[in-house]
Structure 1
Amino acid sequence: LSLLRLGFLVNFLSHPVVSGFTSAAAVIIAVSQLKYLLGIRIPRFGHVYQTFYYAITHLGETHWITLLMSIGGIGLILLLRRINRNIPGALIAVILGILISWIFHLDRQGLDTVGVVPRGLPDFEMPSVTWSKLVQIFPTVLAVSIIGIVESVGIAKGLEAKHRSYVVVPNQELFALGVSKIGGAFFQSLVTSGSFTRSAVNNDSGAKTQLSSLITMVVIGFTLVFMTGLFYYLPNAILAAIIMLATKSLFDYREAIRLWHVHRDDFYMLIITFLVTLIFGIEEGVLAGVILSIAMVIYRSSLPHLAILGRLPESSHYRNITRFPEAVQEEGVVILRFDAPLYFGNSAYFKDTIRQIILQQKEPVKALVLDASSISDLDTSGLDALETVVKQLQGNHIDFMMAGIIGPVRDTIYRSGLRDLIGTDNLFLHVQQAIDDYYNRMDDRATKLQSKALQTNARNKPD
Structure 2
Amino acid sequence: MGNADDGTYSSSNKYGSAPAAASHRVALPPPMPFVTSLRNTLKETLFPDDPLRRFKNQPPRRKVVLGLQYLFPILEWGPRYTLDSFKSDLISGITIASLAIPQGISYAKLANLPPILGLYSSFVPPLVYAMMGSSRDLAVGTVAVGSLLMGTMLGTVVNASEDPKLYLHLAFTATFVAGLFEAALGIFRLGFIIDFLSQATIVGFMSGAATVVSLQQLKGIVGLDHFTHATDIVSVMRSVFTQTHKWRWESGVLGCVFLFFLILARHLSKKKPKLFWISAMAPLTSVIMATILVYFTHAEKHGVQVIGELKRGINPSSVKDLNFDSKYLTAAIKTGIVTCIIALAEGIAVGRSFAMLKNYHIDGNKEMIAFGIMNIAGSCSSCYLTSGAFSRSAVNFNAGCKTMVSNIVMALAVMFTLLFLTPLFYYTPIVVLSSIIISAMLGIIDYDAAIHLWHVDKFDFLVCITAYIGVVFASIEIGLVLAIGLSLMRVLLFVARPKTLVLGNIPDSKVYRDIDQYQNASHVPGILILEIDSPIYFANSNYLRERMSRWIDDEEDRLKSLGETSLQYIVLDMSAVGNIDTSGISMLNEVKKMVDYRGLKLVMVNPGAEVMKKLNKSKFLETIGQEWIFLTVGEAVVACNYMLHSCTHKMNSDGSHKYNNV
Q: Same fold (TM over 0.5)?
A: yes
Stretches of 4+ aligned residues off by more than 6 angstroms: 134-138
Residue 349 of structure 1: CA displacement? 0.7
1:181 match: secondary structure: helix
Match of 1:150 in 2: 341
Q: Check the 8 A contact 1:333/1:369 in 2, yes or no.
A: yes
Gaps of 5+ in 1: 455-463
Residue 449 of structure 1: CA displacement? 5.0
In 1, Cα distance between equivalents of 2:613 and 2:519 = 35
Report the residue type matching 2:581 in the other structure.
D
Q: Check the 8 A contact 1:200/1:249 in 2, yes or no.
A: no
Greater shift, 52-61 or 217-226, is seen at: 52-61
Match of 1:23 in 2: 207
Match of 1:165 in 2: 357
In 2, Cα distance between equivalents of 1:55 and 1:172 = 44
Residue 57 of structure 1: CA displacement? 5.3
Report the residue type matching 1:151 in the other structure.
I
In 2, Cα distance between equivalents of 1:389 and 1:448 = 27
1:295 match: secondary structure: helix
Instruction: Write out per-residue CA displacement over residues 119-147 of structure 1, whole angstroms, 9 at most, x where no aligned residue.
Output: 334443655999xx688877545533431
Q: Check the 8 A contact 1:341/1:376 in 2, yes or no.
A: yes
Report the residue type matching 1:54 in the other structure.
S
**Does 1:94 pair with 2:278?**
no
Greater shift, 436-445 or 167-176, is seen at: 167-176
Matches within 5 A, 1:17-416: 17-49=201-233, 50-56=235-241, 58=243, 61-81=246-266, 82=268, 84-87=275-278, 88-124=281-317, 126-127=319-320, 139-140=330-331, 142-156=333-347, 159=350, 165=357, 169-187=363-381, 189-190=383-384, 192-194=385-387, 199-203=389-393, 205-207=395-397, 213-360=407-554, 361-362=556-557, 363=559, 364-416=566-618
Q: Check the 8 A contact 2:535/2:579 in 1, yes or no.
A: yes
Residue 18 of structure 1: CA displacement? 0.9
Q: Check the 8 A contact 1:127/1:185 in 2, yes or no.
A: no
Instruction: State the aligned residue count.
Output: 448
Residue 450 of structure 1: CA displacement? 5.0
Q: Check the 8 A contact 1:27/1:278 in 2, yes or no.
A: yes
Instruction: Write out per-residue CA displacement over residues 73-94 of structure 1, whole angstroms, 9 at most, x where no aligned residue.
Output: 2333344452722232222222
**Does 1:5 pair with 2:205?**
no
TM-score (normalised: structure 1) = 0.86
In 2, Cα distance between equivalents of 1:58 and 1:151 = 33
1:2 match: secondary structure: helix
Q: Check the 8 A contact 1:97/1:235 in 2, yes or no.
A: yes
In 1, Cα distance between equivalents of 2:348 and 2:461 = 17
CA-based RMSD: 3.0
2:538 match: secondary structure: coil
Match of 1:461 in 2: none
Residue 323 of structure 1: CA displacement? 2.9
In 2, Cα distance between equivalents of 1:16 and 1:286 = 12
In 2, Cα distance between equivalents of 1:399 and 1:374 = 21
Report the residue type matching 1:52 in the other structure.
M
Distance 1:97 1:125, change over 3 A: closer
Distance 1:25 1:207, change over 3 A: farther
1:328 match: secondary structure: coil
Residue 413 of structure 1: CA displacement? 3.1
Higher relative contact order, chain-length normalized (CA < 8 Å, sep 6+): 2
Distance 1:220 1:345, change over 3 A: same
Q: Check the 8 A contact 2:466/2:479 in 1, yes or no.
A: no
1:390 match: secondary structure: helix
1:346 match: secondary structure: helix
